[in-house]
A and B are shown apart, each in its own frame.
Chain A
Amino acid sequence: MNDQDFALTRNAAGRIVFTGKEGDVHEGVVPVRAFPISAPQEGVSLLGEDGHELRWISRLSDLPEAMRALIETELAQREFMPEITRIRQVSSFATPSKWQISTDRGDTELLLKAEDHIRRLTNSTLLITDGYGVSFLIRDIGAMDHHSRKLLDRFL
């Protein structure tokens, strides 16, 4: 926790500024999770504007509170992988199919173009990429209600 030798701040333009040990300053730093699905809390990399890694943070919890909050706010604004909690309705069992879904980020609809766009990450976790490039996560099929599971089952 104390071996941290850099500082992160947010400037007026809303960009994150990284100041290194030698006083080198990088603007527009982008935090990226290395394992966004399997281990979101571990392995966050700070990338400079040119795409080079500035610092590897193996655990977010190792950072001081303020910097962690800054990174997490930034991540929250960039990461978009709604978790599907319920499938309300599907337009057809053959693709392309429009699904009316509830997610942890509100209700929306997704367009499933082909069954291949449902990717099985583990036995109970699915990643669904919709026609517009948004990835939806189903963390645990077992945790969904019966109706959703039944609909989903027709596509698996």
Chain B
Amino acid sequence: MGAVQPRTRKGFSLQRVGSLSNMASVVNSHLVNLHTISPLSSDKQVSDAWHKALQARLSAREKIHASLETNLDEQLNYAKRLILLTNQRLIGLTWPALEFCEYPLGEDLALHQRDHAGIGCIELFAAGTRLAWWRYTMAHDPEATRFVRQFEQVLGGLLSGQPIVEAQPVLCPQCLMPLVPGQDECAYCDVETEAPPSSWVLLRLWRFAKPYRWQLLAGFLLMLASTAATLVPPYLTMPLMDKVLIPYENGSPINTDMVTLLLGGLFGSALLAWGLGWARTYILALVSERIGTDLRTITYDHLLHLSLEYFGGKRTGDLMARVGSESDRICLFLSLHLLDFATDVLMIAMTTAILISIDPWLALVTLLPLPLIVWMIHSVRQKLSTGFEKVDRVWSQVSNILADTIPGIRVVKAFAQEKRESARFRQVNQNNLAVNDRINKIWSLFSPSVTLLTEIGLLVVWAFGIWQVTHNKISVGVLTAFLAYISRFYTRLDSMSRIVSVTQKTASGAKRIFDILDRVSSVPEPVRPQHLDSIIGRIEIREAGFRYGNRAIIKDMNLVIEPGEMIGLVGHSGSGKSTLVNLMCRFYDVSEGSISIDGVNIRSLPIAEYRHNIGLVLQEPFLFFGSIAENIAYGKPHATLAEIVAAARAAHAHEFILRLPHGYDSLVGERGQGLSGGERQRISIARALLIDPRILILDEATASVDTETEKEIQKALDNLVRGRTTIAIAHRLSTLHKANRLVVMDRGEIVETGSHDELMQREGAYFRLYQAQARNVDTDLDDQSISAPENGKESAE
């Protein structure tokens, strides 16, 4: 029976197929490959079991079009459920009971998909009655969307009696972009890297080290030489002891020439070691600093090109830490820890060679306890490192409270909650203390233990050496040389054992940086960009949907904005106006549907080129540190002074700028301290005017200023709007009196469109909003509508 087919047919035929039974070949379905249905179900047994349960129940003539495995039952417990779409019916199966239910396909059948708080639901309706429903976590959402689509296609084909004439390319369920044939994952919807960090990630730093490979090589050779130089002095103690001191003790006179030679050798090797060590450290420090700098620059560069979505999900402090201190940590690791470690390893290797060449037996006894001691130090350190991580985290709690309270100090004082904040801080501080106390208990033990272990190691050498000396196997000079060598690297053992944890920490730091570098912008540059020479400004939004996290913010939106038209977006806060504007600017990409300008999908335009056509005026104008002229020219750095003044004039900013002590050269702070809200806003309007955009977006441009200032700004805005396609969001409906059309939004959907008068006549959502403002009843509009009555009058004119 050909019921359950493997998914062999991923491409699809374009030929017309008449009979129903052949539909399967046309509707490209996610043909049942039960092994790959869900990302979470990896155990094969279940899939085989579905297989078995199905085979008995499907008739020979039945063809499977699509299937969906969900992972929750009716009570929202984790349990597997299967929905299967065949050319005759919809089948539901439960696991492990394998309860079977079926719903023959008919015209009154409909599937609805909705979601709430991370749970999706597919409901099956027949003539308004709910027959069945299936639930799943959002991990399964793309498959569910695909399933519903396929259901509609199959049912549509079945009812009209004719198969879908034109095979459509498979679309990514999330972004509706066509998928590459044979591929299940969309190139646009990037997949999160889920691998844990390992120390191997450090190897990736090679990419940044490569330009400096010759310096690195020189540094390495210098390291070899300088390490060798440091090993000369203990070697010279051997003849000094055996040929000079001991013969002298036995009555021979001092060989002055030899002493001079040996002391000269000691001094010379010390001098050499000094010089080589300096050159080595200097070169490698230079290189590591450069690698760190490159790393920082490249990371910041990449960061700037990521989408707003990325910034929305990350805290500023965290990103700053990644670019700043993590790269610094890597730099430190390269220049200090790795260097020390390499030197130590070299030293041990060379010492071992020297010791073996002097006396193999003594060398064996000397080196034997070494691995044991290293292992013991390492295991204690491992314990400590978990403790230190905890200290780090508690410490970040302490700084979090500071970061929380100090900016909010006005609120704290206003509500007289100093005591409570102080108590909160004290509690975290106590917490910090407790964790530190615990770690200090082990920590204080650590360093003496290392000393003890090394002393024991030396003791072994002493004991064995003395025994050897008494049996005349070695000379006293050899023993002193051995002791000199071995005490040298016993002192390095502690720092060597540190390399493990330092490497781990640096690896996680490197991973955090590579997380940024590996991140593909969720607003990708088009692969084959199209260019628009001049933009007319016709915007078309088609079936657009947007989802942030598990919340659908924009649903199935259709809107066409004609060139030069001014659209006013109206609605409660949270109705999706700002999101829509962000989508138009391509700060985010739509999850479904498309937005096009002059008939070209904005996704196929180069981002920077596209955004040059958009002027954006925000509610909170952001001024960068610099002069007013620089701020106005931000979008067009090479603008002439005349252009800047013209833009400022048009924005009604010219006069107040001239009143400032340094005119256009006056410095403004990072948020424009020293300027009033209205003044800052007019500067940002001038900024938008200067780039002369075809499309203008005003996001609550007048919301945060008083009514007088608003009038000033309004005049400036009227200059700006002229002749441009404009989308304006406003709480105060008065600001939209020039709009050609008003679009009323509610919970992510357009509920009404039309002019002010039409909408007033209709007495719908807009009417209620307007009434609410006119009456100054603060129903749902939030606090911005304080000055509503005058506005009401104004816009009624």
Residues in A lying within 8 Å of B, measured CB to CB:
12-14, 50-51, 76-80, 82, 91-94, 96-98, 103, 105-109, 111, 113, 115-116, 131-135, 153-154, 156
Contacts and interface: CB of A to CB of B under 8 A. Distances in A.
Contacts of A108: 40, 71, 78
B512 to A, nearest CB: 9
Q: Name A's interface SS.
A: loop
A76 B393 contact: no
B76 A79 contact: yes
Interface in B411-435: none
Contacts of A79: 76, 117
Contacts of B78: 82, 103, 105-108
Nearest to B508: A94
Contacts of B135: 77
B123 interface: yes
Determine which residue in A50, A76, A78, A154 has the highest number of CB atoms from chain B within 10 A of its CB, and name it.
A78
Contacts of A132: 118, 137-139, 550
Given A79-B76, A105-B78, A134 B137 contact: yes
B76 A76 contact: yes
B471 to A, nearest CB: 53
Interface residues of B, number: 40
Contact of A91 (B72, B137, B196, B747): B196
Contact of A94 (B40, B511, B549): B511
Interface in B489-515: 508, 511
Contact of B76 (A50, A91, A105): A105
B196 A92 contact: yes
A51 B747 contact: yes
Given A77-B76, A91-B196, A133 B550 contact: yes
Interface string B109-141: 000000011110001010011100101011100
A126 B733 CA distance: 44
Nearest to B193: A96
A98 B196 CA distance: 9
Closest 8 A/B residue pairs (Cβ): A92-B196, A106-B78, A133-B550, A14-B130, A133-B118, A12-B129, A105-B77, A132-B139
Given A107-B78, A154-B386, A78 B197 contact: no
B659 interface: no
A122 to B, nearest CB: 13
Determine which residue in B117, B135, B197, B393 has the highest number of CB atoms from chain A within 10 A of its CB, and name it.
B117
B76 A96 contact: no
Nearest to A115: B393
B76 A14 contact: no
A106 B196 contact: no
Given A13-B128, A94-B197, A106-B79, A133 B549 contact: yes
B192 interface: yes
Interface in B151-196: 192-196
Determine which residue in A82, A97, A113, A133 has the highest number of CB atoms from chain B within 10 A of its CB, and name it.
A133
A155 to B, nearest CB: 9
A80 B76 contact: yes
A76 B74 CA distance: 9
Contacts of A80: 72, 76, 117-119, 137
Interface string B44-69: 00000000000000000000000000
Contacts of A12: 128-130
A13 B139 contact: no
A13 B76 contact: no
Contacts of B195: 96
A154 B40 CA distance: 25
B790 to A, nearest CB: 28
A131 B116 CA distance: 16
B118 A135 contact: yes
Contacts of B74: 77
A121 to B, nearest CB: 15
Nearest to B79: A106
